[in-house]
Chain A
């Protein structure tokens, strides 16, 4: 509860943030602080330098951009939950944002902080994986983009270099008429996802024309459920088809599921199938 000594900088721009990161080895960006500060209070993280990006206006808000939306890294969960643009283009992101923690967490926590922190129990990384989002990054050498699937590289690890800043996330619109859903098994204490499943299902002529499904909380990074997607392709989305498709998630899990005192690896794997099934059911009922 008493963090170690830190030097605090407030960055006025992304360029300044990148410069401060480059100048101070081991510096950490501070966004909403709801993941970083708890770790610092427990002295599980002790960065010597904090670079606060919280007031960089350019990183805030949702805008429409060719075929989808772009969400600034500093956009809070609460803003996403109530954004009309998100609702139009990727309603499942809003659905998940509304399930994050509690109101205080949603008002402070940012989508950029959430994905950068790469906690496998988070909600938005799973949804962004299912949405084929792209993460836009700025570093000393300029800008680059990282596919959602490649962003988290392990437990609390991401693909960013030490001096790169995630600036925004581009999310393509879900196909018109698609149904989508995020369902979550919240931990009773933390409210983080024990298991969370996201599904986007498009239907055409009574058959599933596209499916994307991801599951979080089970392995160290979100898992794109390609076997489930394959099983759904062309199917009639009947209960039996959804049952069979959801069961296929077992084939997408590598076997290195996480376990803890609340939920073992075996249980999380079993719950992955249950929650994928529930996400499919909800998405199918909203499709068309």
Chain B
């Protein structure tokens, strides 16, 4: 039976504890004597701090300490930016944990109160007085890059943190020769990640041991340890970071934040554990947001709709400071994907990373690829309209033909494997595309605004080869490691350096081991999240955990298998080459009765009574896996919408997704990832967007105003898949964590624009809220 474990949609083993509320998150951890921190945050988006008077807070009930930027200055080092894009004239201005002289967004930390209870700490905040000198504010990343814009950092002219350029082929010639050119400006709103669990940090400094333990809501505990070392100067081997249960992150728990540094600082000062947990309001203000792109895009094509060139200028908002991985997102993870699934011989782009007065922007599910797919898919639809052809057909004629092992695109990267046309065909047939178009024609004849949107996509994930990471300025590696350790009873632990936080790898990783070694899934426990009992790893993001960490597990499992085979041969008194393996049993070829199970081997290896000459005792293997290439999942999605022209309200009626993420370890989990991803990408198309007013105040500061996708606003998502294995991955898997988010924004956007085309509407900024759509319809009617 065990061979069927790998590839079957068994239920997620982590779910019972999660859905019955018995999981233990950072805020659930109660250490004796813990004090609680509350952080005073700037109410101004941009201001000089003239003075901070904390004396009023010090005497408040329960207050143990109050610290300001004066106290942390010179003790805590600045928060580092860890993705230093080469050749981009990158500026990394200081990012102090507590602002001393200047604040740059609403929510910038100004002081911290430590008290016996959180309530007391919150109450005391009201007794700190800060004298601010408000400065001019700039919110739009494009406006921020203009001459004369308010300057956030002294040494960063025009707020331009970096300028990244990409060129492949001869774009100018392509445009000069083009029969058809189309262009648009695409705005991707800022998005708030909204993990169910807000961020939290619990720091425990042991002066006796010189050790710092930090429980933290992080997607990457080993990186958090490294950065904690940089910021606090505690040596790396004296720091233990534990990510207990982490309730979602969507990228927002990759970065290292001021809050954990401040919490550690307080614990080190006071010698007792200190906890800080974000309120939901704080989460909206300070936790990194996603997107914030203004994209000026042009596409060149032949009169028959064959794409010949793509040219972009992108202004990517960075917020007040550069977050940990921020520069890599709109560049490496974005621009390099400009070819998408298409043959585009000539591509050029310029990306400006621009400081603006908002929360820092960093990776958010999809990270750079949704922004690339959006502009590409919008352009393809415009080309289709310009040449008067069906958008699906224009896609088909431009898709890269099927390839199994490597295809180079003009941006300079090499896709691993792809069969884009099959994905498109599968999606067209799953959706009943021809019938949909016929129904649409009928609906239009009846005066209804029905639209169909199609997208093809390919994404880069499984990050990634460490040599490439180094070459593109990522200040770390991107390999993963795993240890598999069998105990005498035949049960095993798998220790990994990656840190799943909701994706289901406690199940899929056990399935990998079960598939490789024939043990029961329940006999394998996956251990992650604690730097003291897991091997080094770079974390969970970029749809890399199964692709990279999973590969490390497969490689380690194969080492176990080889040692087991050798030990079985010894115990069965046969030659290793005569030992066959099947379903957890090692047997002498031709006589299956003469066998040892993996459990027998585990016992014998652990007691070591009868080991072959030179073989070490124990049954344990570790593997370090550095992927030779990224993986490139792909697919095609279709959405059907109806717009109510009287109100501008949009009804998303159908959503059909065909994704190809290579070999699937657990199709149910794949489907769940697609569901969540699709919904998260529909959000910015229709509802979601963090809005700052001209003063830099977050207007959508709570879930009352910030419209997260809700089940009652969504149709059933029709999910199916194809399988094109990755040629370079030990299991053939690619990654599925972000695919849905990458495809669904343009799919739904294109569907709405398709619905509105007969009314003469050509563009509306996202999110497509009813009033914007209503205005666009009215403007078009009035000849605007």
Task: Give chain A's interface residues, CB within 8 Å of chain B.
Answer: 1-2, 4-5, 38, 42, 185, 187-190, 192, 260-264, 267, 270-271, 274
CB distance from A43 to the nearest CB of B (A): 8
Query: Given A2, A188, A260, A271, which contacts B119 in the complex, CB threshold below 8 Å?
Result: A2
A188 contacts B771, CB within 8 Å? no
A261 contacts B280, CB within 8 Å? no
B708 contacts A189, CB within 8 Å? yes
- Mark contacts of B685-706 with chain A using CB atoms, 8 A cut-off: 1 yes-contact digit, 0 otherwise: 0110001000000011011111
B705 contacts A2, CB within 8 Å? no
A185 contacts B691, CB within 8 Å? no
Q: A185-B649, A185-B770, A189-B708 are in contact. List 12 more A-B contacts (CB 8 A).
A: A1-B281, A2-B118, A42-B281, A188-B710, A189-B707, A261-B700, A262-B769, A263-B770, A263-B771, A267-B771, A270-B774, A274-B646
Residue of B nearest to A190 (CB): B704
CB distance from B440 to the nearest CB of A (A): 24
B118 contacts A274, CB within 8 Å? no
Residue of B nearest to A271 (CB): B647
- Kindly list chain A residues whose C-beta atoms are within 8 Å of the C-beta of B118: 2
B123 contacts A261, CB within 8 Å? no
Most buried by B among A42, A188, A270, A274: A188
- Mark contacts of B646-669 with chain A using CB atoms, 8 A cut-off: 1 yes-contact digit, 0 otherwise: 110100000000000000000000
A1 contacts B280, CB within 8 Å? yes
- Kindly list chain A residues whose C-beta atoms are within 8 Å of the C-beta of B774: 267, 270
Check: B122 CB closer than 8 A to any chain A CB: yes
Most buried by B among A4, A263, A270, A274: A270
Residue of B nearest to A273 (CB): B646
- Mark contacts of B761-784 with chain A using CB atoms, 8 A cut-off: 1 yes-contact digit, 0 otherwise: 000000001110011000000000
Offer 26 A-B interface pairs, CB within 8 angstroms, sorted by A. A2-B122, A5-B119, A42-B281, A42-B702, A185-B647, A185-B649, A185-B770, A188-B687, A188-B710, A188-B713, A189-B687, A189-B704, A189-B708, A190-B705, A192-B704, A260-B705, A261-B700, A261-B705, A262-B705, A262-B707, A262-B771, A263-B770, A267-B774, A267-B775, A271-B647, A274-B647
Within 8 A of A (CB), among B701-749: 702-708, 710, 713
CA distance A190 to B706 in the complex (A): 8
- Kindly list chain A residues whose C-beta atoms are within 8 Å of the C-beta of B129: none
- Kindly list chain A residues whose C-beta atoms are within 8 Å of the C-beta of B708: 189
Q: Would you list the 8 A-B pairs with minimal beta carbon distance, nearest first?
A: A1-B279, A189-B707, A188-B707, A2-B122, A190-B704, A267-B771, A261-B699, A188-B687
- Kindly list chain A residues whose C-beta atoms are within 8 Å of the C-beta of B647: 185, 271, 274
A-B contact count (CB 8 A): 56
Most buried by A among B706, B770, B771: B771
- Kindly list chain B residues whose C-beta atoms are within 8 Å of the C-beta of A271: 647
Known A-B contacts A262-B769, A271-B647, A274-B646; the reply to A189 vs B706 at CB < 8 A is yes
- Kindly list chain B residues whose C-beta atoms are within 8 Å of the C-beta of A189: 687, 703-708
CB distance from A192 to the nearest CB of B (A): 8
Most buried by A among B119, B700, B705, B706: B705
- Kindly list chain A residues whose C-beta atoms are within 8 Å of the C-beta of B771: 262-264, 267
CA distance A190 to B119 in the complex (A): 27
CA distance A262 to B707 in the complex (A): 10
CB distance from B695 to the nearest CB of A (A): 13
- Kindly list chain A residues whose C-beta atoms are within 8 Å of the C-beta of B775: 267
CB distance from A122 to the nearest CB of B (A): 13
CA distance A260 to B770 in the complex (A): 13
CB distance from B725 to the nearest CB of A (A): 40
Residue of A nearest to B198 (CB): A1
- Mark contacts of B482-516 with chain A using CB atoms, 8 A cut-off: 1 yes-contact digit, 0 otherwise: 00000000000000000000000000000000000
CA distance A94 to B649 in the complex (A): 25
CB distance from A197 to the nearest CB of B (A): 12
- Kindly list chain A residues whose C-beta atoms are within 8 Å of the C-beta of B38: 2
CA distance A192 to B702 in the complex (A): 14
CB distance from A144 to the nearest CB of B (A): 34
- Kindly list chain A residues whose C-beta atoms are within 8 Å of the C-beta of B770: 185, 263, 267
CA distance A93 to B5 in the complex (A): 54
CB distance from B518 to the nearest CB of A (A): 47
CA distance A92 to B637 in the complex (A): 41
CA distance A4 to B708 in the complex (A): 29
CB distance from B446 to the nearest CB of A (A): 17
- Kindly list chain A residues whose C-beta atoms are within 8 Å of the C-beta of B687: 188-189
CA distance A5 to B119 in the complex (A): 8
CB distance from B418 to the nearest CB of A (A): 36
Residue of A nearest to B703 (CB): A189
CA distance A274 to B691 in the complex (A): 27
Residue of B nearest to A3 (CB): B119
Residue of B nearest to A278 (CB): B646
CA distance A190 to B707 in the complex (A): 8
Residue of B nearest to A268 (CB): B771
CB distance from A273 to the nearest CB of B (A): 9
CB distance from A4 to the nearest CB of B (A): 7
- Kindly list chain A residues whose C-beta atoms are within 8 Å of the C-beta of B710: 188
CA distance A188 to B650 in the complex (A): 11
CA distance A190 to B705 in the complex (A): 7
Residue of B nearest to A262 (CB): B769
CA distance A267 to B770 in the complex (A): 9
- Kindly list chain A residues whose C-beta atoms are within 8 Å of the C-beta of B646: 274
CB distance from B552 to the nearest CB of A (A): 40
- Kindly list chain B residues whose C-beta atoms are within 8 Å of the C-beta of A4: 123
CA distance A4 to B118 in the complex (A): 11
CB distance from A190 to the nearest CB of B (A): 4
- Mark contacts of B48-72 with chain A using CB atoms, 8 A cut-off: 1 yes-contact digit, 0 otherwise: 0000000000000000000000000
Residue of B nearest to A2 (CB): B122
Residue of B nearest to A4 (CB): B123
CB distance from A196 to the nearest CB of B (A): 13
CA distance A271 to B123 in the complex (A): 43
CA distance A118 to B649 in the complex (A): 27
Residue of B nearest to A1 (CB): B279
CB distance from B282 to the nearest CB of A (A): 8
CA distance A189 to B279 in the complex (A): 19
CB distance from A40 to the nearest CB of B (A): 12
Residue of B nearest to A188 (CB): B707
- Kindly list chain A residues whose C-beta atoms are within 8 Å of the C-beta of B704: 38, 187, 189-190, 192
- Kindly list chain B residues whose C-beta atoms are within 8 Å of the C-beta of A5: 119, 123
- Mark contacts of B192-223 with chain A using CB atoms, 8 A cut-off: 1 yes-contact digit, 0 otherwise: 00000000000000000000000000000000
CA distance A2 to B39 in the complex (A): 13
- Mark contacts of B82-121 with chain A using CB atoms, 8 A cut-off: 1 yes-contact digit, 0 otherwise: 0000000000000000000000000000000000001100
CA distance A264 to B772 in the complex (A): 10
CA distance A241 to B405 in the complex (A): 69
CB distance from B404 to the nearest CB of A (A): 44
CA distance A246 to B779 in the complex (A): 23
A261 contacts B691, CB within 8 Å? yes
CA distance A1 to B118 in the complex (A): 11
- Kindly list chain A residues whose C-beta atoms are within 8 Å of the C-beta of B649: 185
CA distance A264 to B646 in the complex (A): 16
CA distance A260 to B707 in the complex (A): 14
CB distance from B679 to the nearest CB of A (A): 13
- Mark contacts of B119-141 with chain A using CB atoms, 8 A cut-off: 1 yes-contact digit, 0 otherwise: 10011000000000000000000
CA distance A177 to B708 in the complex (A): 41
CA distance A262 to B691 in the complex (A): 10
CB distance from A23 to the nearest CB of B (A): 25
CA distance A81 to B704 in the complex (A): 23
Residue of B nearest to A121 (CB): B704
CB distance from A270 to the nearest CB of B (A): 7
CB distance from B70 to the nearest CB of A (A): 26
CB distance from B680 to the nearest CB of A (A): 15
- Kindly list chain B residues whose C-beta atoms are within 8 Å of the C-beta of A2: 38, 118-119, 122, 279
CA distance A168 to B646 in the complex (A): 38
Most buried by A among B118, B281, B686, B704: B704
Residue of A nearest to B710 (CB): A188
- Kindly list chain A residues whose C-beta atoms are within 8 Å of the C-beta of B279: 1-2
Within 8 A of A (CB), among B262-281: 279-281
